[in-house]
Chains A and B, each alone.
Chain A
């Protein structure tokens, strides 16, 4: 397949994943509402919000870095997705997975947040700075169990290539990392709770408390871009987790069902628990999940 055709297919797959990611956000908002005894917004509400934000007639910019913040964020989201095979064995939906390994993807997960931090900082709003400080602190904390879990996988499968990790899990449900390396999965799934920023780790973007977090100063199409990225990024993370721990997917339907189930884990916890303070969240990640992650590596080294 030529590079151009591959690029076209990658963007088609990116489009599908964006729509799925945003729909997922809508479904989750609906589930949250039903648990709270409300009817909740329609499933397509995230799309309307994005259209509305992009249809604003004015937008305020505070300088070049402020402008680049959402650009970096969405680059982080797209970059994360670009190097993950969406569907194992598919000629069209494996993206550029041969060009990068799981460490590159982990870097991209962090990259967007850093870019956003610089952008939000230039906005000059104190709430942005508070949000950024909280976000980066929490992110650094949950990266520890996640990185340990990925290292455990590297030790287990002797590779960092995501396609090879998926290939090693083929041949029935018992070949999934979930069953062959449960400790790594436990550490990673707890890290995912922090990554998805639902309760109990939602203090970073806590909307109705004092600040809304890093996007306080972002309005109009900037906000539309950030919302679009939220869709891409959510879906990309779920596809990554599906590939690393749940055997990947061999067709589109399987991918959608699996990513939904993985996402539902953090929703399930989210509706049931209250919010951690940032320092408590950091302490939490650095205790049990980190120990589980270390244990997951130790098991394979011994």
Chain B
């Protein structure tokens, strides 16, 4: 199946395109029931090791409390940097003396468990997507995603590659895209300020979006990741 580029009419090449987001999902083999996943790709022994619960949308706290929490979240963004492509190099100037994001309460964290912002720096190959999904699902909510560079937005120069995904938000929810090839550190910081605005306005609910549209995201992920030797939901 090929699908057309809307502007040029040229059939697009590359990886299997994602499923249209119609809101309805037929039953999938990884769904045991509404709350449980099968983890069918794992061996029986491995199935014992991992949890089989689906993610559920988390309720925000009571109005003013949630606003206060959002203020804290916006002023304490801990970054999990995923250097998938050349955009990762932009994180170095950000943490050093010239731009110094620590003055905005941001700092890089080495483990997904403790991070709240997932920064994807560049093109995403299928092999990398698998790790991105794993890391994203291990982050504790509310979690936010910032995708940096053109390649993360439309595939960039890899748009017809056989192993690079085009738009990351068809696989995990993305809050802010930063355009450019490559974006300057100022652009990345502008992206983070935009993210802060979204958090303060209570609009950065990627975690809940992922839980609500879990079937669609999972179907898209499974469509491109062929060697799925991990649990259906990693946490």
Contacts and interface: CB of A to CB of B under 8 A. Distances in A.
Given A60-B113, A208-B108, A41 B140 contact: no
B46 to A, nearest CB: 14
Nearest to A46: B76
B222 interface: no
Interface in A31-78: 33, 36-42, 45, 48-49, 51-52, 55-60
A25 B107 CA distance: 15
Give the residue among B109, B114, B142 with the most A Cβ atoms within 10 A.
Answer: B114
B113 A219 contact: yes
A153 B26 CA distance: 75
B202 interface: no
A50 to B, nearest CB: 9
A57 B207 contact: yes
A33 B101 CA distance: 11
Contact of A45 (B76, B114, B207): B76
Contact of A218 (B73, B102, B113): B113
Interface in B33-53: none
A93 B58 CA distance: 43
Contacts of B72: 48, 51-52, 55
A216 interface: yes
A212 B111 CA distance: 8
- Majority SS of interface residues in chain A? loop
A56 B76 CA distance: 12
A208 B100 contact: no
B91 to A, nearest CB: 11
A57 B235 CA distance: 14
B58 A55 contact: no
Given A48-B76, A52-B76, A212-B111, A220 B140 contact: yes
B76 A58 contact: no
A33 B102 contact: yes
A248 interface: no
Contact of B110 (A33, A42, A208): A208
A55 B100 contact: no
A135 interface: no
B83 to A, nearest CB: 13
Interface in B56-76: 58-59, 61, 68-69, 72-73, 75-76
A36 B103 CA distance: 13
A216 B111 contact: yes
A33 B109 CA distance: 17
B108 A38 contact: no
Nearest to A128: B111
Contacts of B140: 56-60, 219-220
Contacts of B105: 41-42, 45, 48-49
A121 B209 CA distance: 33
Interface in A194-230: 207-212, 215-220, 223
Contacts of B110: 207-212, 216
Give the interface size class of chain A: 20 to 34
B57 to A, nearest CB: 10
A217 B138 CA distance: 10
A57 to B, nearest CB: 4
A29 B72 CA distance: 18
Contacts of A42: 103, 105
Contacts of A207: 109-110
A223 B76 CA distance: 14
A51 B108 CA distance: 18
Contacts of B107: 41
Nearest to A219: B113
Interface string B114-153: 1010000000000000000000000011100000000000
B235 A60 contact: yes
A56 B142 CA distance: 6
A57 B142 contact: yes
Interface string A99-128: 000000000000000000000000000010
A40 B76 contact: no
A52 B100 contact: no
Contacts of A209: 110
A219 B207 contact: no
Given A33-B100, A33-B102, A38-B97, 4 more contacts: A40-B102, A45-B76, A48-B72, A219-B114
Interface of A: 29, 33, 36-42, 45, 48-49, 51-52, 55-60, 127, 207-212, 215-220, 223
Interface of B: 58-59, 61, 68-69, 72-73, 75-76, 96-97, 100, 102-103, 105, 107-111, 113-114, 116, 140-142, 207, 235
28 contacts: A33-B100, A38-B97, A38-B100, A38-B103, A41-B102, A41-B103, A42-B105, A48-B75, A48-B76, A49-B105, A51-B72, A52-B75, A55-B73, A56-B141, A56-B142, A57-B58, A57-B142, A57-B207, A58-B141, A58-B207, A58-B235, A207-B109, A207-B110, A208-B108, A212-B111, A216-B113, A217-B111, A218-B114
